[in-house]
Structure 1
Amino acid sequence: MNGELAELDDGGFTVAVRQSFGNCPKYIQQREFEFAREPGPRILGSVEWMDELDEGARAAIAAADTFFVASACQDADGRWQADVSHRGGKPGFVKVDGDTLTIPDFSGNGYFNTLGNLLLHPRAGLLFMDFSSGDTLQLAGQAEVLDAEAASVFAGAERLWTFRVERVVRRRNALALRWTLRGYSPFALATGAWPHAALERQWLPLRVIHVEDESSVVRSIYFEPAEGTAAPPFLPGQHLSLKVAGVDGVRMRNYTLSQTGGYRISVKRQGKASARLHQLAPGDIIEALPPRGDFTLARTNRPIALLAGGIGITPMLAFLHQLTGNPAAMPPTLLAYATRNIAERAFDAELEALQVRAAGRLRVVKIVSQPETGRRLGIDYQHAGHLDIELLRGYGLCLDGDVYLCGPAGFMQALYEQLIAAGVEDARIHAEAFGPAGLQRAGHQVQALPAPADGAVPVRFAASAVDTEWQPGQSLLELAESCGLNPDFSCRGGTCGSCRAALLAGQATYLQAPEYPAQPGEILLCCAYPAAGSDKLEINL
């Protein structure tokens, strides 16, 4: 509704309505609200006025999935008419470059109120909200609608527009309400992202607030930012990269966030790093990179099958929390959860609660390869043995839906090949690997790669000012470690992207194409080698 304020007094206000139309809900994220305090006429926190964005404001905008835009123009009679509209997308959909924002414009209600106003009167006001703290960030400035061709860099955008910041007002604790994210709009999740160079890694200290045993070998650990700041948002299925200290030094390991609305990882004890994490207690501090990863729900308008092996259940749990957050829109979903035995199986109670929330749209099948004596078929588990395509068919697998795989490499590869043979499209099979082996997809041509060098190659690690010499038989990660450097890594197989680094000069190659899609100008140290004919490599490490 748009109109003019006709009356205002202590009893309320009257609006003379000039326009009334339905709002486009497509890009609205699902959140639940509660009052953190009694609402009142005064703002309890501080108010900051600025002529430019500071680092905190830029970070808040860059992480936002929602904002509101006010625009206005004069009609033929010289009267002003204003409009306030919602904008939503995946976290990071607003690009920040100094004091200039670039915003993709997606298909909406077709009224073009905002863009029409900006073309006639290119000034606007933007409101960003911190849903967890109640802070608000108000921006005033100049807007410009770009040519349609410019939108080609952002999938799903029909056009782009820019906003040059001229005035900033930040109000701390301005809102009495607080919101908890329950799920992202499926329309927002279907949009793209800005192409970008490798980002500088910034470690975030996290405090353990709770631990909970989920089975004989799986423990969940809950975190919050140790410095009291808002936690960077994440998409269900993304992971945290943690610095884990052990007897062999500090190593980075990736763990999927296993719920929505807060940071929780669920760790199976199966090595030094996981054993160290199992020792964490409330109050302990650990460092992590902001959430990342591409294993997210592609779409939610066709049947979904979630196939989990062992601790591969963790991203599937996050997906189910997302889907059951709006059960009316949830597609028919099948979860097949395979474990070695029942004692090691985690999240039974949580899965039962998710089934109740799903209101008949979720079917859960539990497969155990070695059920313990005394366990009851049909009650404690539904099938003894291994998960395969015939079992899935028996439980209603839809071959025209989307299939998500997560678990050991052999588990995923076997199921992938059976799914392909059954007629599931390759593009509808999505996989997340734990460990060094990625999925070997059928029908994909092997990428021709330059041969590695067969002799010594000088290498400079520029950020550390270290000059050394690579010898055949070692990866660039192993070379860096031999020089006393401690680069980030996790899988050592080219699947996770933890070890990516910018190649400043020279040419590198791989023995086989890595699974992780490195950006142009990046290499994966764990499986990269100097290419034949390269005189010298310079790496930003």
Structure 2
Amino acid sequence: MATASSPFHAGEQQVQERLGVRDEIEPWARKVVRGHLPDEHRRFYARLPFVVVAARDGSGRPWATLLVGEPGFVRSPDARSLAIDARPAAGDALEDAFARGVDVGFLGIELATRRRNRINGRVSAPGTGGFEVAVDQTFGNCPQYIHERKWRREATGTTPARRAHDRFSPELRRWIEGADTFFIATGHRGEGESPTFGMDASHRGGEPGFVRIEGERHLVFPDYAGNSHYNTIGNLVMDPRAGILFVDFERGDLLQLTGRVRIDWESPELERFPGARRLVHFELDEAVELEQALPLRWEKAAGSVRSLRLVEKIRESDEVTSFVFESRDGGPLADFNAGQHLPIELEGTGQGCGVSRTYSLSNGPGQGRYRISVKRHPQGVASRCLHDHVQVGAILSARAPAGDFMLDPSSPRPVVLVSAGVGLTPLVSMLHELVGGDSRRVWFVHGARDGRHHALADEVRDLGARAPNVRLHVVYSRPRPEDELGRHYDSAGRVDGALLEKLVPGLDGDFYLCGPTGFMASVQEHLEARGVPPERIRSETF
């Protein structure tokens, strides 16, 4: 794939090539990685009580920290700039870092809603009470591995107590190995100028114990499947220096680490970390501990956890199985909007199943049940756990459905639901809602390999038959002899923009896309090239 105007620098591209995702992720990233902040993201930052920031100290070492303030302390004066009315706490490793021209990376994250957005740029206007940043790149992230927490404000009134360390004490070891969240700062600046250069602030999450201390200066953590951008790993390929930040959410303490990393791509050690695709070994250079550095405290959203009982397990295709849940106590479940996802916890459900994941709900709202339809991935810890170990009668914990991939009820335009593979799951939920009383014209366009890999096929056909305003079109890329044209599928090939042009008059509609990233990028590019405004194209990634 040509690299001109790529949103990725050479290190990120190198990792993508190594892992076989380069051709798929590049066209998608060109759509979602922007050089400006969309209005939605500008509003998002304005309501945050804290942001994660990555930068380098005077010696060039990367660190991460939190900047905090009343909501509104982060502002976006225009789509290409960010203003922050806050400075690091006294004694922070980045206390004096934000001078003009300095590379900075931002992670805006709402732990309660699991939304996050990343920015990299450079300080354009330093000040005594804050600074402004010129935005180079920004993009949203998926909600995987984020532990929900609700924040509250708590006055400190004291200067944080600062302690420096050059090794992990027993107290620090207990803190680190008990953590379920940390933030990591990495960066790369090559020759010349490019918006792909700069600092990156990223989130890492897992179950307590997913970070392990393996020496007085050495820790290791797993790198799980993510969005395939490989921003962090790509930076580390070019520059092995990294900063790590642990937060004591109950006390408001910070633990900042800086050091160097080594990436373990495929050694037998991976088996010690279920679900890990790679291991990252970190050698400590220096640590800074700040007690009560933050005027914020967080508590886990335990009150929103419900126990669910698996009441049905239904094989939908060769690779996809549906799991239907009701409440364990027989009480009503919180309703959801079509297109949202269900965060579930798989602890105790089988060997190697101590993980949490989010899956799109595939049934319609208002049914008093939750259904997820999951594709089994050979390397997927959670999907293998569900398929191989979770049986009818099993009890799982779940949080309330969430997510903002939803139908726009205020739009009078036709609705076009476009999916490939297991990406049909949130769109089937939307189809349920639309068939239930919406008068808008609806197209449901889906691509699968063949009849054996076509999940929820009969259900979608039944829904389409119930509503005269619904049109279905199924495409098989490799139909079998027993797959009947006109009965099981409507055309051979792949779902693409040209097909949508044939099906949807004038491409007049609101388009909802879900499937592999390359598929969504191709369809979105075609639609925009034909004049469909970007705000009428919504997508969901896994």
What TM-score range do you get, normalising by the shorter chain? Answer: 0.3 to 0.5
Which structure has the larger Rg over C-alpha atoms?
A: 1
- Compare relative contact order (CA 8 Å, sep 6+) and give the higher one, 1 or 2: 2
TM-score normalised according to structure 1 size:
0.42
TM-score normalised according to structure 2 size:
0.42
